[in-house]
Structure 1
Amino acid sequence: MNLPFQLRVPACGLLTLALSLPVMAQMPQRQPTPNDTLQSPRVLNDKRIALSIYAPKASEVTVSGDFLSPAKPLSLAKNEQGVWSVLVGPLKPDYYTYTLTVDGVRTIDPKNPVIKQGISSLENVMTVPGDATAFEDNQSVPHGEVREVWYPSKSLGMMRRMHVYTPPGYEKGATKYPVFYLLHGGGDDDSGWNSIGRAGFILDNLLASGKAKPMIVVMPNGSMPMNNKTGGDLAQSMSAMRALFADELLKEVMPQVEKTYRTLNNRENRAIAGLSMGGFQTLDVTLSHPELFDYVGVFSSGFFGATIDEAETKYAKALQDPAFNKGKKLFWVEIGKDDFVMDANKKTLALLDKHNIKYQYKETDGGHTWINWRQYLHEYAPLLFR
């Protein structure tokens, strides 16, 4: 009797099944596909990038990313093997994010393991190498450490996380350092500035070249949990989220940092800056508590929508204080010429001008992207604690 399998009872008494050779020979073998050798993205010599995905049953594939201007998705073309591809560029050397959409479903490139994480989405990251990215690359210089720090937040009633950069030599020394609170934008979390923002590498390279002073950089999670306090219309929701973040920063993050790390705890040694939503939060904290920070940076931001109407009343004390300017060694505002928040930015500057608040302003090329924000950090950090 030829059984399809053999029963073997080992000495330990456990029963195992061993397939006989005839049965194994009859098992269907997996057929190779183009996906086995597919590479994506591929950087070509002319700085163009080939993006590809194997999706033989799909009827439409598009790609969107911060390399597109205007931000309109590109369609991929399908070949006879079921591989969809598109060439983009040539692109300037930099780090870019992108996502694919397959038959209406947003997805990441399965051949690219480098991703940027958000609070509800993922994006792929691709690199076009070149001299222009040296300031943000992982160079052969002394490196600091970036830690994921968990702490209990009484304000929010939950565990929260922040990323903290300490400069090279921190662990072996006893020096106290100034602190820079660096805030991300909407849709991101505390990992944003460290991953796609490359803050750790930017600081490492600045310190190695002597262009910045050693500092601790704190990257908190500015995305607040949605609950009944943050509901309602847009203006009410923004106001509630703003208040939650201010409590989280002032009552939880700053005390935790000053208790845990060797910090210089005075306004002369504190800086704050943020992009987009983080810039809005920076404005709120700075004008509500002008005594906390001598260095302020607002990237691609302003008072959005109805918040500009309430700003003059909400921040009347700071706006009308003739000593406000004396308490700020730096009030830096920077934005791209094509940024969609330019109107909010202009209205915010008009409010500051009305009350004689002094600031430094710079417009760059580009829009509301990390391509600009990494550059802004590279420009802003060397100005701190001078």
Structure 2
Amino acid sequence: MKKIIITMLCIMCIGFAGAQIAKNPAPKLIKSPEVSGTGKVTFRFLAPNARKVMLIMDDAKVRPMQKDTAGIWSFTEQFSPDIYRYTFAVDGNVLPDPNNPMIKPLFKRALGQSLAYVPGPKTLSWEVNQVPHGILSQHFYKSDIVGDERDFRVYTPPGYNPNRKEPYPVLYLFHGITDETSAWTTAGRENVILDNLISQGKAKEMIIVNTLGYGAPEMLEPGAGPYGKAALKKNEELFVSSFIKEVIPRIESIYNVGKTKKYRAVAGLSMGGGQSLDVGLNHPELFSYVAGFSAAVILLDPDYEKAFPKLDASINKDLKLIWIAIGKDDFLIESNRKYKAWLESKNIKFFYQETEGVHSYNVWRRYLTDFSQLIFKD
């Protein structure tokens, strides 16, 4: 009798659960982004009760989305082959695309930025080809200088040999503000770019290190407010100290890399571009190559004489290359032009380039492609 009652209860439970599922069906899945063979991209977001939905992209153009009778908002545009960051602003709340698994995480945030991939010819440096591939590794450590647990990521080239007689050179590559250590692989595709260039004989076999760019990570805590001068100064000073005293020694103890400036290059984008110029030009004894991609020099001391107290023309014999580039429509263009003029006034030799583009990985992938072909060649 007891067995019969239990069986009936189970049947009733299953029936009740089925009724609930029918009453509350699973969320509707939509295709977003939908990329056509010609590069036409349609972005979609399901929000039947939203009043306004906007598509937000790096170029800051206003892209209002339109809602259909099913409550799906959409926007369609033609794009050239590349990888684009985007989010949706839903009644003022900024969200990634819930239907797109391609995402670039943000530091101390649960939600990141979605990535729309528009395939192109295999000649593009960030397109995956049938070539030998390197390995990506993640390392964790306690920073005694910053006082937190953090990580750095490492790309080792195809066929990396820890016992090779000639040590490998290292490119220390910094990310931008709000990014975390995976940004140069998720959005920048550094590993794909180097795989391709190395296989083509255009770049030397090298290791790339992506370290966390915050000396004051509390700046990025939710509700921390705008970054003040004191916080920015602390962030920069502790970052540089941790990078030189903690990250570089760890890399040189774990990997088969050269331990002199001949084997070191430093570069970065945005905040990381300012940091790479800071650490590279203030420590020419440590590096031979320095690059700033859309460098946020505005985050440094605006008095460049204080930010670079020892910098003069003598650095021309210490560094093999200072490389600076920025997009013509980048919001940091004027600050970079002022910095360029200041370097010229100090008789510093450097390469400077303004290209088409905004503050985005669309230009930074190209800069990495160009810069990585110039380093460690002699």
275, 283, 301: which one aligns with 1:307: 301
SS in 1 for 2:311: helix
- The reply on whether 1:48 has 2:37 as its aligned counterpart is no
2:357 is aligned to 366
Query: Percent sequence identity over matched residues?
Result: 38
Pick the aligned partner of 2:256 from 256, 262, 270.
262
What runs of 5+ residues in structure 2 fail to find an aligned partner?
Answer: none
Instruction: Please provide the CA RMSD for this pair.
Output: 2.7
Answer yes or no: is the 8 Å Cα contact 1:47–1:128 preserved in 2: yes
Structure 1: runs of 5 or more not aligned: 9-15
Q: Please report how far the alpha carbon of residue 227 of structure 1 lies from its aligned counterpart in structure 2 after TM superposition.
A: 4.9
Change (3 A) 1:172 1:325: closer
Given candidates 84, 88, 92, the residue that maps to 1:100 is 88
| Alpha-carbon distance change, 327 to 56 in structure 1, aligned in 2, over 3 angstroms | same
Matched with 1:7 is: 6
Rounded to whole Å, the distance in 2 between the matches of 1:359 and 1:25 is 69
Matching of residue 125 in structure 1 with residue 119 in structure 2: no
Equivalent-residue separation in structure 1 for 2:161 and 2:9 (angstroms): 55
Shift of 1:315: 2.2
1:113-143 deviation digits (Å, cap 9, x = unpaired): 1111111340111111111773102211100
Query: How far did 1:378 drift?
Result: 0.3
Partner of 2:100: 112
1:24-43 superposed matches below 5 A: 27-30=19-22, 36=28, 38-43=30-35
Counterparts of 1:37 and 1:155 in 2: how far apart (Å)?
46
Based on CA coordinates, which of the two structures has the bigger radius of gyration? 1
- 1:297 alignment partner, one of 291, 312, 317: 291
**Contact 2:79 / 2:118 at 8 angstroms: preserved in 1?**
yes
Asked if 1:253 corresponds to 2:247, the answer is yes
Q: Which amino acid aligns with 1:83?
A: I
The TM-score normalised by the length of structure 1 is 0.88
Partner of 1:317: 310
Separation of aligned partners in 1, 2:10 and 2:296 = 69
Q: How many residues align?
A: 369
Residue 351 of structure 1 is aligned with which of 339, 342, 355?
A: 342
What is the TM-score normalised by the length of structure 2? 0.90
> 1:318 Cα deviation (Å)?
2.5
The answer for the alignment partner of 2:189 in structure 1 is: 198
- Indicate if the aligned counterparts of 1:114 and 1:125 stay in contact, CA closer than 8 A: yes
1:213 is displaced (CA, Å) by 0.3
Q: Deviations over 1:219-252 (max 9, x none)?
A: 1010233459x99973322221110111110011
1:155 counterpart (145, 153, 159): 145
Distance 2:311 2:227 in 1: 27
1:141 paired to 2:140: no
- Where do residues 188-227 of structure 1 align in structure 2 (5 Å cutoff)? 188-227=179-218
Q: Deviations over 1:23-43 (max 9, x none)?
A: 459834526989645211111
From 147, 153, 156, give the equivalent of 1:166: 156
Q: Is the 8 A contact 1:181 1:271 kept in 2?
A: yes
Q: Which amino acid aligns with 2:293?
A: F
SS of corresponding position for 2:155: strand
Q: Indicate conservation of the 8 Å contact 1:332/1:359, yes or no.
A: yes
Kindly indicate whether residue 178 of structure 2 is the aligned counterpart of residue 187 of structure 1: yes
In 1: Cα distance, 2:17 partner to 2:367 partner: 62
Residues 137 and 155 in structure 2, CA contact (< 8 A), matched pair in contact too: yes
